Structure 1
Amino acid sequence: MKLKNKIFFYSTFVFVILIVVLSVTIYYTFVNITYDRELERVESNAKSIHSGIREETDEYSAIDLMSFYVPNDGMLRVVNQDGQFMTSSIISGDVPNSLRKFNVGFERGRQSSILTHSGISYGFVQFPMIWTNGEVVYLQVFESLKTVDDNLDILRLVLMLVTAIALIPVFISGKLLSDLIIRPIQSLIQTMNDIKRSQTFKHIPLNKQSNDELFTMGQTFNELMDLLKENYEKQEAFVSNASHELRTPLTVIESYASLVKRRGLERPEVVKESIDAIHTEAVRMKDLTEQLLLLARRDQDWKLELSNIQLGQLLENIAKNMERAYNSKVDVDYPHSVTLYTDEQKLKQLIYIFVDNACKYSDVPVLIKLSEGPTIEIIDQGIGIPKDSIDQVFDRFYRVDEARNRDQGGTGLGLALAKELAESLSIKIDLDSEENKGTRVILRLNSLSSH
């Protein structure tokens, strides 16, 4: 069954049950109240009859008084303590004769109840009294409630008619409700089918602002489409750039391999030159592949191994390693060492990326400075970065200058990886650079003891 039909049937069913239950409740509540009031009235009349019969005189006997006090459309009779009739039943109005022999289930004492005989309700009251011979007897008063039954029948018909009429707007409202709820869902399905058919990203049309969940669902879907489109475009660019980056070293390797194959036996110097070039490009391709895999497997690799580390000693070790690698001076400045609870290997990798860039593009010593905060500053006096490129240097494969990056062997992934590492370590990166004057990188560190 379709969702639209389910909503219609379930909502309609609930409203129908509520209306029926409400009507039945109203009817039986009114019946109980009405019968209770009528029984009180019959009891009041029975008291009057009881008082009147006790005023027996020589002129009027108890039987005569009973005939006088018998209620309209009712019956009076007297029974002894064994429930046997002591007098003939006196009836009036349209009461059937069969009521004279009607057994009410005699019990001694005062009684009052609503009885039904031949489809007619009667108010029944029983009073103990002293009979003319001094014996304790019971006066039984029956009064027809046919008028009340007729009125209740009319009420029942009215409630049934009102219930039937009330069901019409229930069905209409159920249909409108199902259409209202299902409309944005149908729009969502149609949009998804269009996306599937056209292989493009589309939005659900939202006609007006509202605060309901259906509008939020459409708005969330549109935001999801924007996110998917953005990620799809980034993925396309990533694959294209990765293919381009891998194609270059592979072409170089192929060219030099072909050169060695053609002239390697004749010219040994060609073999040495080719081996150096192939080795360089192979190392560069290996680094590129490792960085690509690390970026692609962030969820698995960004699991932190936290420990207390001495930042001063860490920076000293990094500086020594970079001095040996680039044969250039790297100075470290810190007034006192700072202890930080973080992932040592990932922090070291992050700092290496920025110090490596500083050493590549600067001919003067690089400065690593540790200060309160704690913050780490990597300062160089190299070629710098143009102002309009600072916001893009953390994008994957972005290069400020393609030629100079190719000369230095860069892949365009180092700063993108640095950004990922910084986010995993809750480190904020500030970059200040001026072309031909140098670059200043500020790492604002955070202890991860709360993570």
Structure 2
Amino acid sequence: MRLKNKIQLYTSLSLFLMVLLFHTAIYFIFSFTLTQKDMSRLSEVAENIAIALKKSEEEGLPSSELLRAYLPQNGMIRVVTEKGQSKLTITKELTFSSLPFTYESGQTAEIKEYRKHMIAFAAIPVIWTNGEIVSLQVYEKIENTEENLALLKMILIAAGILFIVLSYFAGHILTKQIVRPISKMINTMKASMREKAFKRIELTGDSKDELYQMGQTFNEMSEILEKHYEKEQQFLHDASHELKTPITVIMSYSNLLKRWGQTRPEVIEESSQAIHDEAKKMKRLTDQLLTLAKNDQPPYLEMKQVDIADICKQVSHTLEVATNRTIRLHVQTKQPIFAEGDKEKIKQLLTILIDNAVKYSAEPVDVTCGLAGDTPFISVCDKGIGMREEDLPKIFDRFFRVDEARNRETGGTGLGLSIAKQIAEEHGAELKVDSRIGEGTNVTILFRK
């Protein structure tokens, strides 16, 4: 069943049940009120007759004539003995004579149904003229109450039907309003799949209700997906471009080996060296691509309090030996500097930053570790070529290179800073970059305590 039909059905059923319960309650409350009034009035008549009978006995008036004087219109008065026999019956309604009766020992009042008519009944015990205790019973057709209740029933039924019909059409309009943005979203999704594009829903009005927010969220999601798709396509393009160059070089030198390798030893040496160098580049590139792929997955980090000053000492010493370059370490305090993080991941992040500084600077590299207020930080500073200000927002993008010629010289792939950025984000850390052309670059990691 479609959502539109479900909403219509459930709304109509709910309203029908509510109207039914409400109107039923009104009918029974009104019926109870009217019948209570009739029974009270008839009980009062019975009490008045009992009082009058007592006086008539003292004055010696005939009881039958007195009872006729109190006979209700469309009613009957009956005197019933303790043996359940009718001692006296006075009525103008012949149909009342066949009414079943019993002796009532106490005062009572109720509503009875006889031949599909409502009859008010009241009984009170009295002492008859011969000293016998009898039940004085008064009956009356309550035609006004019946008519009023019948009229009320018709009004409630008609009002209920009218309300349900109107609510059906109102529900139909409301359902269309609810389903319209959902239908738009479905059609937009189908169009996106059909046309291989990321389409948006056109939002109108400024109601800011849940349906509007749903459409807004869908548009935001489409925008995010589109950006991810564009990044993925750019990544595939850049990765294929980066791999194409070393593969072309390897193919060229392998063809050269096939053609001249057996007769010219210098070709073997040159080709072997070129193939080896390009293979190393490919390995480094594929390793970094694998690292990025792993970083795109939900990270598993062994988070704990680590001494970042100790990490700086280890990484600086290792890279100083490996690169044969001077790396100067400055620790602002003799006390341990703790930050929350994964020790190995922080080492990898720091290695990338120092490695970049070594590649693009002939001067010694300065690594500073300390506290900025309460925030632990590590700063890597070089006096190298620097970067333009307009390039700084892009340096963490995959395969971005400030200068292609310089990257060919240093063997960079343009993936290191992208990996560094992901590691920092996993730790909730912030990377700040300050760079000027010809003056050098300073990259600062601000950790979470």
Matches within 5 A, 1:125-274: 125-274=122-271
Gaps of 5+ in 1: none
Shift of 1:339: 3.5
Secondary structure at the counterpart of residue 103 of structure 1 = coil
Deviation at 1:216, TM superposition (A): 1.0
Q: Would you say the 8 A contact 2:80–2:103 is kept in 1?
A: no
Deviation at 1:242, TM superposition (A): 0.4
Hey, what does 1:60 align to over in structure 2?
61
SS of the residue 1:357 aligns to? helix
- Deviation of 1:37 after TM superposition, in Å, equals 0.8
Contact 1:75 1:91 in 2 (8 A): yes
In structure 2, C-alpha distance between the alignment counterparts of 1:75 and 1:225, rounded to whole Å? 84
Q: Matched residues in 2 for 1:275 and 1:324: separation?
A: 28
RMSD: 1.7
Q: TM-score, normalised by structure 1?
A: 0.94
- Return the offset for 1:55: 1.6
Q: Post-superposition shift, 1:371? A: 1.7
Q: Tell me: CA distance 1:78–1:105, structure 2 relative to 1, closer, same or farther (3 Å).
A: closer
Q: Match of 2:415?
A: 413
Q: 1:210 aligns to what SS in structure 2?
A: coil
Is 2:430–2:447's contact at 8 Å kept on the other side of the alignment? yes
Identify the residue that residue 79 of structure 1 maps to in structure 2.
Answer: 80
Q: 2:445 maps to what in 1?
A: 443
CA distance in 1, matches of 2:173, 2:266: 87
How has the CA–CA distance of structure 1 residues 29 and 446 changed in structure 2, closer, same or farther, with 3 Å as cutoff? same
* Conservation of the 8 A alpha-carbon contact between 2:118 and 2:146: yes
In 2, are the aligned partners of 1:294 and 1:301 still within 8 Å (CA)? Answer: no
Match runs of 1:276-287 below 5 Å: 276-287=273-284
Instruction: Give the stretch that moved more between structures: 322-331 or 396-405.
Output: 322-331
What fraction of aligned residue pairs are identical, expressed as a percent? Answer: 37
1:171 is displaced (CA, Å) by 2.0
- Structure 2: how far apart are the matches of 1:11 and 1:306? 53
The 1:154–1:445 alpha-carbon spacing in structure 2 relative to 1, beyond 3 Å, is: closer
Using the TM superposition, name which of 302-311 and 286-295 deviates more: 302-311
What pairs up with 1:294-333 in 2 under 5 angstroms? 294-300=291-297, 302-333=299-330
The residue number in structure 1 matching 2:365 is 366
The CA deviation at 1:21 is: 2.4
**Displacement of 1:301:** 6.7
What is the rounded CA distance, in whole Å, between the counterparts of 2:102 and 2:238 in structure 1? 101
Shift of 1:427: 1.6
Paired residues, what number? 443
For residues 217 and 298 of structure 2, the distance between their equivalents in structure 1, rounded to whole angstroms, comes to 30
Alignment of 1:335-374 (within 5 A): 335-336=333-334, 337-372=336-371, 373-374=375-376
In 2, the alpha carbon distance for the partners of 1:316 and 1:301 equals 30
User: What does the per-residue CA deviation read over 1:294-349, in whole Å, with 9 as the maximum and x for residues that have no partner?
Assistant: 21232547211234433333222212221222221111111424233421110000
Q: 2 CA distance for matches of 1:198 and 1:63?
A: 101
1:99·1:117 contact (CA, 8 Å) conserved in 2?
no
Distance 2:210 2:305 in 1: 47
1:331–1:367 Cα contact (<8 Å) kept:
yes
- Paired position in structure 2 for 1:404: 406
Q: For residue 6 of structure 2, what is the aligned residue in structure 1?
A: 6
Question: Does the CA contact (< 8 Å) of 2:178 and 2:211 recur in 1?
Answer: yes
Tell me, in whole angstroms, the C-alpha distance in 1 between the residues paired with 2:159 and 2:125. Answer: 46
Q: Distance in 2 between matches of 1:381 and 1:429?
A: 19
Distance 1:214 1:278 in 2: 60
- Deviation string, structure 1 residues 81-135 (Cα, Å, up to 9, x no partner): 2222222x1003xx2x242242244342112111111222111111111111112
Q: CA deviation at 1:359?
A: 0.5
